[in-house]
Amino acid sequence: MTPAILDDLVARFDAFLVDQFGVLLNGTGAYPQAPAALARLAATGKPVILLSNSGKRAVPNAARLVALGFDRGSFQLVLSSGEAAWMALARRIGVSLPKGTKVWLHGRDGDRAQIAGLDLVPVATPAEAGLLLLAGSRGDEVTLDAYRDLLQPAAAIRVPMLCTNPDLEMLTPAGIRFGAGRIAESYVAMGGEVEWIGKPHPLVYAEAARLLPGIAPDRVLCIGDSPAHDVAGGIAAGHATALVRTGLHAGVSKADLPALCKAEGAVPDFVLASFDFQS
């Protein structure tokens, strides 16, 4: 866990996988320095991919960033877990997943893009479905107990769930709330089966590798705010990792941070005060 500044790390790596929430976004908008820092990183000419556990797909994620003041040219794309899941489902339909499978889709903002263009039939309740697609949490509006009650009938008949946002916690305007990953954990505890797509799980990193041909894994730097997701996933993929002290663990002291990372089995190579250039 070497303290570092972004200026020094840019010269050491050939590509960057940058998290959204906690690094660029704070739950209500962009960190003030983040748009300029991301643009400066992209100006090096090295690939910059935003690797996010957002259950939303790539295009709406990019549109949100532009609306918040980020230059669309400052990143190659937002490789969200929602986008990776859509690509995986497109390959599976008609092979391991029957055409016309009934799907219960749950996310935020009424977003239906996760199944757009796919031969899937949306249904209103989990018990009706042959597949549960958990793309997000409304933990700022709905209790975890309410989610358990909603999902219990589906768990009882072992309807498979695809969780496309593994985050256990999320930043919201009301503060930190439980994420979709916590809902999925509850589903497992009730006897349900869950497939996870997103950090720290390998599928999203494999998709990122396809976008970075010729770049060795150890020449890629993952930047994020979560040891359990960003750091653990980056290490498993063979990448270097940098943990920012903003976002989920902003309140953790420098002295306590090493113990937190060790407890989660995910010690980063570098620690950044924030996603910013110092000079």
Q: Which domains does the chain have, with CATH numbers?
A: 2-81+200-272 (3.40.50.1000), 98-196 (3.40.50.1000)
Task: Indicate the average pLDDT of the chain.
Answer: 94
Name the burial class of residue 37, with classes exposed (0-12), middle (13-18) and buried (19+) by CB atoms within 10 angstroms of its CB.
Answer: buried
Main-chain dihedrals φ then ψ at residue 182, nearest 5 degrees: -70, -40
C-beta of residue 276 within 8 angstroms of C-beta of residue 6: yes
For the beta carbon of residue 71, count every other beta carbon within 10 angstroms.
14
Contacts of 130 (CB under 8 A, 6+ apart): 98, 101, 102, 103, 159, 160
Model confidence at 263, pLDDT cuts 50, 70, 90, reads very high
Q: Does the structure show a pLDDT above 90 at 162? A: yes
C-beta of residue 131 within 8 angstroms of C-beta of residue 103: yes
- At how many degrees (to 10) do helices 81-92 and 202-210 cross? 90
- At how many degrees (to 10) do helices 144-156 and 180-189 cross? 50
C-beta of residue 20 within 8 angstroms of C-beta of residue 78: yes
Strand partners, 222: 17, 241
Q: Does the structure show a pLDDT above 90 at 13? A: yes
The predicted pLDDT at position 279 comes to 43
- Scan for tokens 């055409």, then name that residue: 99
Q: Identify residue 134 by its one-letter amino acid code.
A: L
Dump pLDDT digits (tens) for 89-134: 999 999 999 999 999 999 887 788 899 999 999 999 999 999 999 9
Dump pLDDT digits (tens) for 172-227: 887 889 999 999 999 999 999 999 999 999 999 999 999 999 999 999 999 999 99
Q: What percent of the chain has pLDDT over 90?
A: 85
DSSP classification of residue 181:
H
Element holding 131 (H helix, E strand): strand 131-134
| Cα–Cα distance, 95 to 91 (Å, whole number) | 8
The predicted pLDDT at position 39 comes to 97
- Scan for tokens 């009730």, then name that residue: 190
